[in-house]
Amino acid sequence: MTIVDESPTPTGVLIDLAPNSEERRALARASMGVSELGRGGAVLLCDDAEQPDRADLLFAAMHADRHLTAFAIAHTSGFLQVALPATRCDELDLVPQRGADRPGLRHCVTVDAVEGIGTGISAADRATTARLLASPTSTAAAFTRPGHVVPLRADMGLPRRQHGFAEAAVDLVSTARLVPAAMLATVVGLTDATSMATGEDVRTFAAQHNLPCIGLPDLTVDVPPLVSFQLPVQLAGARAQLTAFTGDVDYLCLVVGDVQQRTAVPLHITTEDRLLLEADAPGSGPCIMLAPRAHSTGQPGGRDADVIIGQAHEPSSAIRAMLRATGAQSVFYGYDGLRRRDLVSHS
């Protein structure tokens, strides 16, 4: 785990919630990729942009033409897929391939366009089929089965942190304000065309063809956490907002008072059964309280606190996203068993 942008103090740690250098790089890559897709270009979607083990050439299916498709066929496995939201697959009667209805296997029966193509295998023919899959006016009758283009079912109901290549591809083209349909195929190695491109091959291929490279984790930076409920709470001395969200486990976050734009907001880590009791302690200013829900915790400064503070630094963690969502600019966590009322905000 990489800890960055941490400012230690004699009694604790100040956690800056502004995007750190790793997050800024991720946001820049995602922004560049969305812009390129919006212009009708292609990008590389990787499992990890900085240390890739897999890279898929990706472009919007509505922009598929003979040139982009021929480029994809020449530099990839040639297994051209069009990722579509699961709801759209149902509308087009795109049923799973036999054996591909298990979790993680989402290939549908292959299709060709009924009209406007020859054998269906050429770059021009497959581009026509891809554009037809992307057309909002297409119906199931517009396709023959089997064919030469592989529809790929994307479960857009999953939290973004659980998105695979299909979901990320649809998400990217949707963010570019295009029809949510993306053509993608896995890039083959430069030194060994019988294997898939990894590592330096991916970086070299991206540089040779001036392709933005986006990692799946890049798309999770600044994504709000999955919230199960949110409600106001009236304490004895202040108003508060209680939020239940999901990270590695379920958490409760209680924001006491107004922490918007404040720095060094006291962060208190406690247990679920003590959350409201400690929040009502006298002599407290605005603060943020976190409590895991899935298991019992020790005293602040124990293992649960260490996990939470560590994840507060992780670029794509739900805890960091939740802390950002409070509007605080930074939070301060005190060690040595300090109680919440002993942590003074510097705002």
Per-residue confidence (pLDDT) for residue 1, from 0 to 100: 36
Q: How confident is the model at residue 6 (pLDDT cuts 50, 70, 90)?
A: very low
In angstroms, the CA 290 to CA 269 distance is: 5
Whole-number pLDDT of residue 277: 86
Residue 283 — pLDDT band, cuts 50, 70, 90? low
Whether the per-residue pLDDT at 297 is higher than 70: the answer is no
- Mean pLDDT over 10-20 rounds to 85
Say what the pLDDT of residue 295 is.
53
Q: What is the pLDDT, as a whole number, of residue 41?
A: 97
Q: What mean pLDDT is predicted for residues 260-281?
A: 90
Burial of residue 222 (number of CB atoms within 10 Å: 0-12, 13-18, 19+): middle
- Is 298 a residue whose pLDDT tops 70? no
Residue with the larger pLDDT of the pair 23 and 302: 23
**pLDDT attached to residue 77:** 93
Does 218 score more than 80 pLDDT?
yes
Is residue 221 within 8 A of residue 315, CB to CB? The reply is: yes
Q: How far apart are CA 312 and CA 314, in angstroms?
A: 6
Give long-range contacts, CB 8 A cutoff, 24+ apart: 223-232: 223/160, 223/161, 223/316, 223/321, 224/321, 224/325, 225/318, 225/319, 225/321, 225/322, 225/325, 226/159, 226/318
Q: State mean pLDDT over 181-194.
A: 94
Least trusted range by pLDDT, from 4-13, 112-121, 217-226: 4-13
Question: pLDDT class for 243, splitting at 50, 70, 90?
Answer: very high
Domain with CATH 3.90.870.10 in the chain: 22-219
For residue 190, the 8-state DSSP code is S
When the pLDDT of each residue in the chain is averaged and rounded to a whole number, the result is 88
C-alpha span between 107 and 68 (Å, rounded): 22
- Domain 22-219 is of which CATH architecture? Alpha-Beta Complex (3.90)
Confidence band for 238, pLDDT divided at 50, 70 and 90: confident
pLDDT digits (tens, 9 = 90+) for 122-179: 999 999 999 999 999 999 999 999 999 999 999 998 888 889 999 999 999 999 999 9
- Answer for the pair 94, 84: CB distance below 8 angstroms, yes or no: yes
**What pTM was estimated for this model as a whole?**
0.76
Average pLDDT for 41-45: 98
Mean pLDDT of 224-235: 90
Pick 10 or 319 by higher pLDDT.
319
| Residue predicted with more confidence, 337 or 249 | 249
What are the CA-CA distances from residue 31 to residues 52, 140, 217, 218, 320 (Å)? Answer: 19, 34, 13, 10, 21
d(CA 218, CA 29): 7
Judged against a pLDDT cut of 70, whether residue 333 lies above it is answered with yes
Tens digit of each residue's pLDDT (9 = 90 or more) over 67-107: 999 999 999 999 999 999 999 999 999 999 887 555 555 89
- Confidence band of 32 (pLDDT split at 50, 70, 90): very high
Quick check: 264 pLDDT over 90?
Answer: yes
- 34 or 98: whose pLDDT is higher? 34
